[in-house]
């Protein structure tokens, strides 16, 4: 068990570093999305409608803001899993204790891993099948566009494995997040 403890804490440290990087990327993505939307609003409703500029609306800002939100959602999916912020029906496992709770956790873990591995495999196949596709305004290749969910699923699978190592090492309770939320005292 001692080796599993060491492995868990090493992998958890990697997970923590990835989480910090994702938080900075998420901040940048939100900022860029806000800039795109602000530019679109100013361009469409002030510059084009109120003046006699010869250009029309700039369509790439709409596409860019949507793409940034999709990237944001899939990047943050793994962090949400790590903190236990994804939806989960806890009516069953909150009533269980001991080996029953662990058995249910292992069954759930196997189902999650099967789903994520299948999503990664078929996501890669789907992304490769759409190499010819390009987005309308930004001309982003389809394989780049459709690989975004694959990255999110890989991050989620990594955090699921970290949680699993924590459970089998005894450092994390089944159905509890790896990162326990801080409770503010009133």
Q: What is the per-residue pLDDT for 45? A: 77
61: number of Cβ within 10 Å: 21
Mean pLDDT computed over every residue of the chain: 87
Which one-letter DSSP state was computed for residue 89? -
Specify the higher pLDDT residue, 51 or 16. 16
How far apart CA 151 and CA 111 sit, in angstroms, is 19
CA–CA distance, 63 with 41 (Å, rounded to integer): 14
Poorest-pLDDT segment among 42-56, 60-74, 116-130: 42-56
Query: What percent of the chain is modeled with pLDDT above 70?
Result: 89
* Tokens found for residue 74: 């899939």
* pLDDT beyond 60 at 72: yes
Contacts of 153 (CB under 8 A, 6+ apart): 74, 77, 116, 119, 120, 123
Q: What pLDDT is attached to residue 97?
A: 80
Q: How far apart are CA 181 and CA 9, in angstroms?
A: 18
Helix count (H) and strand count (E) of the chain?
A: 6, 0
- Nearest Cα neighbor of 78 from 179, 9, 183 is 179
Is pLDDT of 14 > 70? yes
d(CA 115, CA 180): 25
Q: Would the pLDDT of 186 be above 80?
A: no
Q: For residue range 132-184, what is the model confidence (pLDDT) as tens digits? A: 999 888 899 989 999 999 999 999 999 999 999 998 988 888 877 776 655 55
Global pTM reads 0.84
pLDDT at 64: 93
Contact 171, 91 (CB under 8 A): no
- pLDDT for 80-117, tens place per residue? 988 888 776 667 777 888 888 888 889 999 999 999 99
**3 state DSSP class of 83:** coil
């Amino acid at each position: 068990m001692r080796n599993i403890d060491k492995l868990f804490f090493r992998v958890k440290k990697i997970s923590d570093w990835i989480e910090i990087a994702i938080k900075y990327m998420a901040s940048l993505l939100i900022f860029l999305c806000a800039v795109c939307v602000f530019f679109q609003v100013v361009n469409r409703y002030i510059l084009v409608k109120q003046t006699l500029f010869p250009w029309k609306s700039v369509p790439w800002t709409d596409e860019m803001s949507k793409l940034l939100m999709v990237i944001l959602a899939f990047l943050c999916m793994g962090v949400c899993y790590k903190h236990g912020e994804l939806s989960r029906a806890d009516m069953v496992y909150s009533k269980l204790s001991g080996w029953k709770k662990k058995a249910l956790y292992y069954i759930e873990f196997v189902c999650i891993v099967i789903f994520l591995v299948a999503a990664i495999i078929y996501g890669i196949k789907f992304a490769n099948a759409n190499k010819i596709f390009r987005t309308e305004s930004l001309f982003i290749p389809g394989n780049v566009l459709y690989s975004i969910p694959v990255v999110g699923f890989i991050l989620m699978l990594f955090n699921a494995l970290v949680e699993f190592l924590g459970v089998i090492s005894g450092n994390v309770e089944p159905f509890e997040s790896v990162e326990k939320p801080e409770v503010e005292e009133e």
